[in-house]
Each structure stands twice: as structure tokens, then as C-alpha cells.
Amino acid sequence: MSKKINLEVCVDNTESVDIASQIGVQRLELCSALALGGLTPTASLIRYARKNSTISLHTMIRLRAGDFCFSEKEIDAMLYDIEVAYAMGTHGIVIGVLKSDFTINTRAVEKIVTYAKKLSLEVTFHRAFDSVPDIREALSLLIDLKVKRILTSGSKNTAIEGVELIRQLNEFAAGRIEIMAGSGINASNVSEIINRTGIKDIHASVGEKVNKFKQTLLKLGAESSDFSYQRTSLEKLTALKRAVL
């Protein structure tokens, strides 16, 4: 591809940080619990990534699973998480706050963005954006709030399904905010998504399941495979990077 593509990979463990660093990407989205859509990572993971990688780090700020309707107390707790992430060396944060009617919680987002800007942190609004009832209104609002970029699948389950809306969003944004496509992106569809939308930012997990030993007698939680976890796939990430070059 002739234009430069920024590749962001979401990771929730040190192995994935190392793999992404080995391959070389433009950004890491640091999370915990990717199986839950991504929650705020531990301070130790942020610190590890800062010490062992030169990649730009963007930390998920989401203190619980479930909806994106956070209370005032939860917002205040998230501000503290931002402070911790900054102290550990993050370069940006990833947020998403909605009201019960699925519109953007302007007051909360403004509060978070203002705090982040004081720390010179970039702000990405994650796929909570795909739940809003009026996409263009939400886009204009986030531009006014000085959000740096939006992660979106075009209001569909995958970016390839939402490719036309992503194209429209990118066109409407007109460089005022970065539109980053994410969800289900891999080496086989990334070129089509880029070519059809004109975007320059791609977000992917390209994960693989790892189970270093088997244990069938003990359950530690609700999941059926307590002893397996996801990590970034070296093979899948290599193929994805080649596809965007």
C-alpha cells in the first residue's frame, strides 16, 4: 500500500507486549480481560510495556464489565486510573461513557478529556461509539470535545460488515478526528477495509488461545476453560502487518 497505515494491537499480557514489539506496530492498547471487551490493566502491565517497548501506549480506562453508563463515583475512580496510567508511562487513554439512552455522556467525557489533556495524554473513544443512535451527531460531539480518535466497526459486529459506514464517518470527519477501524480485522480483509474506507488507522487483536496445561477437576470461575488464555498470535500479526505494507 502506498499510504502509511497505523496499526494498533490490543494486548492484555506481557507475552503479547513482547510479540507486538517484535513485529513492530504503531500503538498498543493495553487492557486486562479482553474476553470481557477489555478492562483497565494493572499498573504492572503498563510499566512492563513502558520498560520493554518503544511503541506508543494507550491504556484502556474501564473499571468494570457491562454497560458504559458509569456513575459519578465510577468516573472519579477512572480519573485515578488515568493518573496511575500516566505515572506508569502511558501515552494515551481509551474511554467510552454513555447515558442510559445510548447517547454520549458529554459531561463525563468532557471531564475525562480535560483531565487527560492536562497530562498531555491522547484520548481515544472506543467501540461504545457503535451503540449510539445518531452516529453523525456523536461524531460531531466528540470532535468538539477534542477527542483524538474513534474506534469503530461501523455499528456492526465486524468492521468488514460496517465498512460503508466507516467510509462515511471518515469522509464526514474530514481530518478533524481520526477514524480507526476495528473488530474482526485480519490479513485477509484489511486491504479491502482500507481501500474502501480511506482510513489510515487499524485496530486488531489477532489473538490465539494458549493452554499450557490441562486441568479438568477444578473450576476457578464461570468460564469452562479456566486455565487457557489469549495472547497475540505471532503468525497472525506478521501476516496482518505484511498485508498493510
Distance CA 244, CA 191 (A): 7
Q: Show Cβ contacts of residue 177 under 8 Å, excluding neighbours closer than 6 positions.
A: 139, 142, 143, 147, 148, 149, 150
**pLDDT above 60 (res 2):** no
pLDDT (0 to 100) of residue 212: 77
**pLDDT above 80 (res 160):** yes
Residue pair 77/101 in contact (Cβ under 8 Å)? The answer is no
Distance CA 95, CA 78 (A): 9
What's the chain's Rg over C-alpha atoms?
A: 18
What pTM was computed for the model?
0.93
Q: If you average pLDDT over residues 165-193, what whole number do you get?
A: 98
Positive or negative, the Cα torsion across 85, 123, 95, 60? negative
Helix axes 190-197, 163-173, angle to 10 degrees: 40
C-alpha cell at 33: 480481560
Give the pairing of strands 229-232 and 207-210: antiparallel
SS (H, E, C) the chain: CCCCCEEEEEECCHHHHHHHHHHCCCEEEECECHHHCCECCCHHHHHHHHHHCCCEEEEECCCCCCCCCCCHHHHHHHHHHHHHHHHHCCCEEEECCECCCCCECHHHHHHHHHHHHHCCCEEEECHHHHHCCCHHHHHHHHHHCCCCEEEECCCCCCCCCCHHHHHHHHHHHCCCCEEEEECCCCCCCHHHHHHHHCCCEEEECCEEEECCCCCCCCCCCCCCCCCCEEEECHHHHHHHHHHHC
Q: Which of 151-155, 169-173, 180-184, 219-223 shows the lowest mean pLDDT across its residues? A: 219-223
CATH number for the segment(s) 6-244: 3.20.20.380
Q: What is the pLDDT of residues 70-121, one digit of tens each?
A: 999 999 999 999 999 999 999 999 999 999 999 999 999 999 999 999 999 9
Please state the domain extents for the chain: 6-244
Distance CA 80, CA 172 (A): 34
Residue pair 124/92 in contact (Cβ under 8 Å)? The answer is yes
Q: If you average pLDDT over residues 140-151, what whole number do you get?
A: 98
Q: Which residue has the higher pLDDT, 184 or 209?
A: 184
